């Protein structure tokens, strides 16, 4: 029975072409007496991206899961991803549904005993690499704590942002609109409002040495970012 196979090709930029990869893989399929039933391509997409961006790669995996083919042919391992973990994860996923992988540049074929053994070793090395990375991260965090360094993401809060939140709250602006307009999370706004009282702020003309927030204010005093022609644009001096 002829084995059904699929070809996957990818190039990182739109200036590159996949024809050379595909033509060579077609020749290999013919030599091995495989029947090419599907071809998948991602063009102008880096291998660092996941399935949600690489639509061809996503369709390839879905085809394997649906058992549309028994073998996948690729030009080189970096066509599949950018790390050993990416390769092992992909191989485990397709092997779980009975699909094999052939990598031309490495002459690796997971359907052969030697290929199975090599991919098993790659899995061991991948797990070792993950363990080493985890250990280095933990040691780095412990060292940072012992040196008195503060961990976590830097806070976006500053005096200008705090004052803007207070002012917009005083103008009756909703929490979610503040979050959208100021580019901060809802929890951040709640935290500011919970730890300080809302105060009144005046508007004025900004100066070069004063932090400012561009806020559109209607004549009635409500704040909006829509239809600038019908609203008076003012600056909040902080």
CB neighbour class for 85 (10 Å; exposed up to 12, middle 13-18, buried from 19): middle
Q: Give the separation between CA 26 and CA 41, rounded to whole angstroms.
A: 14
The catalytically annotated residue of 12, 83, 89, 111 is 12
Write out the two tokens for 163.
């004052």
Q: Give the separation between CA 49 and CA 58, rounded to whole angstroms.
A: 11
Annotated catalytic, 134? no
**Beta carbons of 85 and 129 less than 8 angstroms apart:** yes
Q: Give the separation between CA 117 and CA 236, rounded to whole angstroms.
A: 67
CB neighbour class for 165 (10 Å; exposed up to 12, middle 13-18, buried from 19): buried
* Catalytic sites, residue numbers: 12
């Amino acid at each position: 029975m002829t084995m059904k196979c699929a070809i996957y090709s990818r190039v990182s930029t739109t200036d590159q072409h996949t024809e050379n990869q595909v033509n060579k893989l077609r020749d290999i399929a013919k030599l091995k007496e495989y029947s090419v039933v599907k071809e998948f391509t991602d063009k102008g997409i880096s291998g660092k991206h996941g399935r949600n961006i690489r639509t061809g790669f996503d369709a390839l995996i879905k085809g394997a899961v649906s058992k549309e083919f028994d073998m996948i042919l690729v030009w080189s391992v970096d066509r599949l991803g950018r790390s050993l973990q990416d390769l092992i994860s992909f191989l485990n996923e397709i092997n779980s549904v009975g699909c094999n992988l052939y990598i031309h540049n490495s002459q690796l074929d997971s359907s052969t005993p030697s290929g199975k053994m090599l991919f098993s070793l790659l899995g061991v090395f991948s797990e070792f690499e993950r363990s080493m990375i985890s250990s280095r991260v933990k040691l780095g965090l412990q060292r940072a704590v012992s040196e008195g360094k503060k961990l976590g993401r830097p806070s976006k809060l500053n005096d200008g942002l705090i004052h803007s939140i207070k002012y917009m709250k005083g103008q009756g602006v909703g929490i979610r609109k503040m979050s959208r307009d100021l580019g901060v999370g809802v929890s951040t706004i709640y935290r500011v409002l919970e730890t300080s009282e809302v105060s009144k702020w005046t508007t004025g003309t900004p100066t070069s040495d004063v932090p400012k927030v561009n806020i559109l204010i209607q004549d009635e005093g409500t704040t909006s970012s829509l239809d600038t022609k019908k609203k008076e644009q003012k600056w909040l001096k902080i």
